[in-house]
C-alpha cells in the first residue's frame, strides 16, 4: 500500500464493468483538482472511455470530509 495517493478506493479489479463499454474496470490514477490542489486518488476506472467509478464531485466531497476532520484538531 503506497502513500502516494490521497485516497484509495480499493475495489477488486474485474468485478465492476463499465456500463457504457461493457469492459471490466481497472484500478487507475484519477487526479482531482480542488482549490488549486491536485489530489491523486486510486480508483477503478474504465480503460476504454476513462470513466471512473466514483463521480468526481463525490470524490471531492470525500476529500472535503477529510479536510474538515483535520481542521477540527
Q: How far apart are CA 51 and CA 29, in angstroms?
A: 12
**Shortest separation between residue 73's beta carbon and Zn ion, angstroms:** 40
**Shortest separation between residue 16's beta carbon and Zn ion, angstroms:** 11
Put residue 15 in one of left, alpha, beta given phi > 0 → left and psi -120 to 50 → alpha: alpha
Q: Which is nearer to Zn ion, 5 or 47 (CB)?
A: 47
Q: How far apart are CA 62 and CA 33, in angstroms?
A: 13
Q: Which is nearer to Zn ion, 42 or 46 (CB)?
A: 46
**Shortest separation between residue 65's beta carbon and Zn ion, angstroms:** 28
List contacts with Zn ion (CB under 5 A).
18, 20-21, 46, 48-49, 51
Q: Which is nearer to Zn ion, 26 or 65 (CB)?
A: 26
At residue 59, φ and ψ (nearest 5 deg) are: -65, -40
Amino acid at each position: 500500500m503506497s502513500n502516494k495517493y490521497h485516497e484509495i478506493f480499493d475495489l477488486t479489479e474485474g468485478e465492476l464493468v463499465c456500463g457504457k463499454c461493457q469492459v471490466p474496470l481497472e484500478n487507475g490514477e484519477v487526479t482531482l483538482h480542488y482549490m488549486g490542489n491536485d489530489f491523486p486518488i486510486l480508483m477503478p476506472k474504465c480503460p476504454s472511455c476513462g470513466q471512473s467509478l466514483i463521480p468526481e464531485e463525490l470524490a471531492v466531497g470525500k476529500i472535503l470530509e477529510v479536510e474538515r476532520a483535520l481542521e477540527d484538531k
